[in-house]
Amino acid sequence: MIKNLLQRGLPALALAALPLLTTSPAAHATSAQPATPRAFGTAGAPGVRAPLPLSEAIDQIPVADEQRDGYTRNLYRHWNRGLNPTDGCNTRKEVILSEAIEAPHVAPGCKLSGGSWLSPYDDVTVTDAAGLDVDHFVPLAEVHDSGGYAWDAARREAYANDQASPVTLIAVTAKSNRSKGDKDPAQWLPPARGYHCEYAAHWAATKLRWNLATDDAERQALQRVAKKCPDTSVIYEPAS
């Protein structure tokens, strides 16, 4: 995935919101768990926060009550023209292309055929792009609850199409995405248990990147995951 992101021309700092994962051999419960230590981003680059242990990263997220008033999905204009408005691919299609294990054929109008993907939520291989959803890692309703209610339209659209951080949007099976819905980690964790450390790190990185809050139940759920992930750290770059 990282190679494909670089081929798309994303800046190196775009990788900075990915978690830094260092794992012991015993930690590899499924293929979704990394087999070797990984470090993404450049911790010393301007604007990028130095790596934090997952539990400390969670503690840096402010705590606040959720506010759902006024939310509609249409407030967050999503699937805009993407990074290259001349190629016929919107944000959704660009994410799908960037995460392909085997690249699909791209026909005019960004129609995709062939290719394969690994959905990390459920550790399922997908061979038809029509079987994929592109999930907002922190769902739009949760973003609104956690501080997005105060954003202007431009910032809402920026979040909804954020490809500067490759963890804001993720291609997963439609089944797993619809099971998740707009739930936070107190209400839902991926069926693939080997992905829980990475899931919590991505969630924390996204909330920190966009200066969003957690409620108390969400924070406690994240910290329960973090206790099982002593070698997981988070690097993030605040959104402009």
| pLDDT exceeds cutoff 50 at 205 | yes
Query: In this predicted structure, what is the pLDDT of residue 84?
Result: 75
Q: How far is CA 169 from CA 95, 135, 164, in A?
A: 7, 6, 10
Report yes or no: 33 and 194 within 8 Å, Cβ to Cβ.
Answer: yes
What span, in angstroms and rounded, lies between the C-alpha atoms of 55 and 45?
Answer: 23
Report yes or no: 204 and 57 within 8 Å, Cβ to Cβ.
Answer: yes
| pLDDT exceeds cutoff 60 at 93 | yes
| pLDDT exceeds cutoff 70 at 199 | yes
3-state DSSP: the chain helix, strand, coil percent, rounded to 5? 35, 15, 50
Q: For 96-120, what is the mean pLDDT?
A: 96
What span, in angstroms and rounded, lies between the C-alpha atoms of 231 and 27?
Answer: 10
